[in-house]
Amino acid sequence: MGSVALREIRKSYGAVEVLHGIDLDVADGEFVVLVGPSGCGKSTLLRSLAGLETISGGEISIDGASIVHLPPKSRDIAMVFQNYALYPHMNVAENMGFALKMAKVSKPEIDAKVRKAAEILSLTPLLERYPKQLSGGQRQRVAMGRAIVRDPKVFLFDEPLSNLDAALRVQMRAEIKELHQRLGTTIVYVTHDQIEAMTMADKIVVMKDGHVEQIGAPLELYDCPANRFVAGFIGSPAMNFIPARVQNGQALLADGTALAPAPAGLAEGLAFVAGVRPEHLMVTEQGAAATVTLVEPTGAEIQFVVDLAGTSVLVSTRDRVNLRHGDRVSLAVEPGRLHAFDTETGQRLG
Amino acid sequence: MNQTSRPLYWLGLGLIGTIIAAYVLFPIFWLVLASFKTTGELASLPLTFWPKAPTIEAYTALFDANSQSSQLLRWPTLISNSFIVAVSSTILVLIFGTLAGYAFSRLHFPGRDLILGGLLISRMFQGAALLLPTYRLMNALNLQDSLIGLILLYSAFGLPFATWIIASSLREIPFELEESAIMDGASRLQSMVRIVLPLATPALITAAMWHFVGAWSEFAFASILMESADHKTVTIGLASFVELFTIEFNRVGAAATLVALPIMVVFFFGQRYFTRGLLAGAVKG
Whether B32 maps to a domain, the answer reads yes
Whether B212 maps to a domain, the answer reads yes
What whole-number distance in Å separates Cα of residue B28 and Cα of residue B15?
A: 20
Determine the average pLDDT of the residues in A127-133: 94
Residues B188 and B241 in one domain: yes
Higher pLDDT, B266 or B244: B266
Q: With 90 as the cut, is the pLDDT of residue A22 above it?
A: yes
Total domains in chain B come to 2
Nearest chain A residue (CA) to B178: A85
The minimal CB distance from A102 to the residues B185, B198, B199 is found for B185
Residues A99, B199: C-beta atoms closer than 8 Å: no
What is the three-class DSSP state of A190?
strand
Residues B262 and B155 in one domain: yes
Question: What residues of chain B lie within 8 A of the CB of A98, using their CB?
Answer: 181, 184
Whether B285 maps to a domain, the answer reads no
Q: Which residues of chain A form beta strands (DSSP E)?
A: 4-13, 16-26, 31-35, 57-62, 65-66, 77-80, 154-158, 186-191, 203-208, 211-216, 240-247, 250-252, 258-261, 271-276, 281-284, 288-297, 302-308, 311-317, 328-333, 339-341
Q: What is the pLDDT of residues A296-312, one digit of tens each?
A: 998 889 999 999 999 99
DSSP B49: S
Whether B193 maps to a domain, the answer reads yes
* Window from A34-38, B11-15, B248-252 with minimum mean pLDDT: B248-252
Q: With 90 as the cut, is the pLDDT of residue A68 above it?
A: yes
Substitution target in B172, B184, B195 with the highest count of A β-carbons within 10 Å is B184
Owning domain of residue B235: 69-278
Instruction: For residue B14, give every residue at least 6 positions away whose Cβ sits within 8 Å of its Cβ, in sequence order, or none.
Output: none
Residues B193 and B82 in one domain: yes
Residues B110 and B231 in one domain: yes
For helices A166-183 and A136-148, angle between their N-to-C axes, nearest 10 degrees: 20
Q: What's chain A's average pLDDT?
A: 93
Q: What is the pLDDT of residues B264-275, one digit of tens each?
A: 888 888 777 776
Determine the average pLDDT of the residues in A259-287: 93
Residues B113 and B150 in one domain: yes
Higher pLDDT, B153 or B61: B153
pLDDT grade, residue A232 (50/70/90)?
very high
The minimal CB distance from B183 to the residues A78, A82, A87 is found for A78
Q: With 50 as the cut, is the pLDDT of residue A193 above it?
A: yes
pLDDT of residue B91: 97
Residues B114 and B41 in one domain: no
pLDDT grade, residue B247 (50/70/90)?
low
Residues B33 and B76 in one domain: no
Residues B184, A85: C-beta atoms closer than 8 Å: no
pTM, two decimal places: 0.80
Residues A52, B184: C-beta atoms closer than 8 Å: no
- Whether A85 and A139 have beta carbons less than 8 Å apart is answered as no
- The DSSP-derived string for A86-154 is --TTS-HHHHHHHHHHHTT--HHHHHHHHHHHHHHTT-GGGTT--GGGS-HHHHHHHHHHHHHTT--SE
Residues B26 and B128 in one domain: no
Q: Which of A165, A102, A104, A155 is nearest to A135 (CA)?
A: A165
Residues B185, A88: C-beta atoms closer than 8 Å: no
Substitution target in B169, B175, B176, B180 with the highest count of A β-carbons within 10 Å is B180
What is the three-class DSSP state of A180?
helix
Determine the average pLDDT of the residues in A330-338: 94
Please give, rounded to a whole number of angstroms, the shortest distance from the CA of A43 to a CA of chain B: 13
- What order do you get walking across the sheet with A203-208 strand by strand? A77-80, A154-158, A186-191, A31-35, A203-208, A211-216
* Window from A336-345, B1-10, B94-103, B124-133 with minimum mean pLDDT: B1-10
Whether B169 maps to a domain, the answer reads yes
Residues B183, A50: C-beta atoms closer than 8 Å: yes
CATH assignment of the domain containing B112: 1.10.3720.10
pLDDT of residue B3: 56
* Cα A91-B173-A124 angle, rounded to 5 deg: 15
Residues B242 and B110 in one domain: yes
Q: Which of B253, B208, B230 is nearest to B97 (CA)?
A: B208
Q: Say how far residue A213 (Cα) sits from the centre of its chain.
A: 13
The minimal CB distance from B195 to the residues A50, A77, A87 is found for A87
pLDDT grade, residue B283 (50/70/90)?
very low
Whether B61 maps to a domain, the answer reads no
Residues B101 and B150 in one domain: yes
pLDDT of residue B276: 67
Substitution target in A54, A79, A82 with the highest count of B β-carbons within 10 Å is A79
Substitution target in B183, B187, B192 with the highest count of A β-carbons within 10 Å is B183
Q: What is the pLDDT of residues B82-124, one digit of tens each?
A: 999 999 999 999 999 999 999 999 888 899 888 888 888 877 7
Residues A85, B198: C-beta atoms closer than 8 Å: no
Residues A146, B184: C-beta atoms closer than 8 Å: yes
Q: With 70 as the cut, is the pLDDT of residue B282 above it?
A: no
pLDDT grade, residue B150 (50/70/90)?
very high
What whole-number distance in Å separates Cα of residue B226 and Cα of residue A195?
A: 73
Q: Which of A73, A347, A19 is nearest to B181 (CA)?
A: A73
- Whether A109 and B220 have beta carbons less than 8 Å apart is answered as no
Residues B176, A83: C-beta atoms closer than 8 Å: yes
Residues B140 and B209 in one domain: yes
Determine the average pLDDT of the residues in A324-345: 94
Nearest chain B residue (CA) to A150: B184
Whether B163 maps to a domain, the answer reads yes
User: Which residues of B fall below an 8 Å CB-CB distance to A?
Assistant: 174, 176-177, 179-186, 190, 195, 198-199
The percent of residues above 70 in pLDDT, for chain A, comes to: 100
- Whether A243 and A273 have beta carbons less than 8 Å apart is answered as yes
Determine the average pLDDT of the residues in A42-67: 95
Domains (range + CATH), chain A: 4-233 (3.40.50.300), 240-341 (2.40.50.140)
What whole-number distance in Å separates Cα of residue B178 and Cα of residue B170?
A: 11
Question: What residues of chain B lie within 8 A of the CB of A99, using their CB?
Answer: 183-185
pLDDT of residue B182: 94
Note whether A130 contacts B: Cβ–Cβ < 8 A. no
Determine the average pLDDT of the residues in A276-288: 93
Nearest chain B residue (CA) to A75: B183
Residues B9 and B132 in one domain: no
Question: What residues of chain B lie within 8 A of the CB of A77, using their CB?
Answer: 183
Residues B180, A85: C-beta atoms closer than 8 Å: yes
Whether B79 maps to a domain, the answer reads yes
